[in-house]
Amino acid sequence: MSQENVEIVRRGWDAWERGDLSAVLQMMSDDLVTHRAPPFGDARHGPEGFLEVNRDWMEGFAEWSVTPTDYLDAGDRVVVRTAQEARGKESGVPVAAVFWFVFALRDGKVVRIDIHAEEAAALEAAGLRE
């Protein structure tokens, strides 16, 4: 089942990159929790909460992209290492960072997304050790 979870997350990410928001939202449970780990430390609920997190995240940037670079099978969780690149909307300053997303799945649907700035925290959230 765990490799199937990796494929579900991969298909969802591919849909996001194509701009197919409907396909992305279909893979999410109605009780989805999207949690941004510290320094943000907030949580939003439901698919609409997921969209709010993304709007907040991209708000100050232009030319924003986040690209998955690795998918890690962690049983009922999938860890995705990503590379984010953007340019400040007003400043024009380029920004690059790495973030880790931990997707928890149940019955083929994403029930939780944790976003981490640190790999060790992401691995711990997935029940793994660095």
CA distance 84 to 61: 11
Read off the pLDDT of residues 76-125 as tens digits, 9 standing for 90 and up: 999 999 999 999 999 999 999 999 999 999 999 999 999 999 999 999 99
**pTM (predicted TM-score):** 0.92
What stretches of the chain adopt beta strand conformation (E)? Answer: 28-36, 42-45, 61-74, 77-88, 94-106, 109-116
Q: Please, which residues bridge with residue 33 across strands?
A: 45, 112
Q: Is 61 helix (H, G, I), strand (E, B) or coil?
A: strand
Q: Tokens in use for 18?
A: 């194509």
Domains of the chain with bracketed CATH: 2-125 (3.10.450.50)
Read off the pLDDT of residues 49-71 as tens digits, 9 standing for 90 and up: 999 998 888 888 888 889 999 99
Q: Please, which residues bridge with residue 45 across strands?
A: 33
